[in-house]
């Protein structure tokens, strides 16, 4: 089962990568992640993803920020709800239109 890390923990680990890269210009991202990840017991791939997310959040790399991603999810849910409501209204409209076309034919 995957472990859950607090955002503060992730931020500290990413800060260690940022500092390592700033200290040694010849150090690659891959080297920094591989050196730092074992210290706090993080999987290399997890730390790499956190660092990539950091680059997007800070505007260094293109991509959706966490807030933009959450907004898209919220809008998709809202859109689905509106589509369902629209379908219900269409069915109700068709039902009442039939009733008006044939009054008293029950």
- Confidence at residue 21, expressed as pLDDT on a 0 to 100 scale: 94
Structural domain of 104: 66-106
Q: Give dist(CA 83, CA 77) in Å, integer.
A: 10
Residues 23, 48 share a domain: yes
Q: Could you tell me the pTM of the whole model? A: 0.65
Nearest to 54 by CA among 90, 29, 86, 89: 29
Could you tell me which of 25, 26, 43 has the C-alpha nearest to residue 34? 43
d(CA 79, CA 58): 29
Same domain, 79 and 39: no
**Do 42 and 86 share a domain, yes or no?**
no
How far apart are the C-alpha atoms of 15 and 27, rounded to whole Å? 15
Q: What is the mean pLDDT of each run of 10 residues along the chain (106 residues)?
A: 86 96 92 95 95 92 88 97 96 89 66
């Amino acid at each position: 089962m995957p472990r859950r890390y607090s955002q503060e923990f992730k931020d500290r680990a990413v800060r260690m990568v940022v500092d390592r890269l700033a200290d040694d210009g010849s150090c690659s991202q891959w080297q920094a992640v591989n050196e730092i990840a074992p210290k706090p017991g993080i999987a290399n791939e997890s730390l790499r993803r956190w660092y990539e997310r950091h680059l997007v959040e800070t505007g260094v790399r293109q991509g959706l920020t966490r807030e933009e991603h959450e907004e898209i999810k919220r809008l998709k849910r809202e859109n689905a709800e509106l589509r369902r409501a629209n379908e219900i209204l269409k069915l109700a409209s068709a039902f009442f239109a039939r009733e008006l076309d044939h009054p008293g034919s029950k």
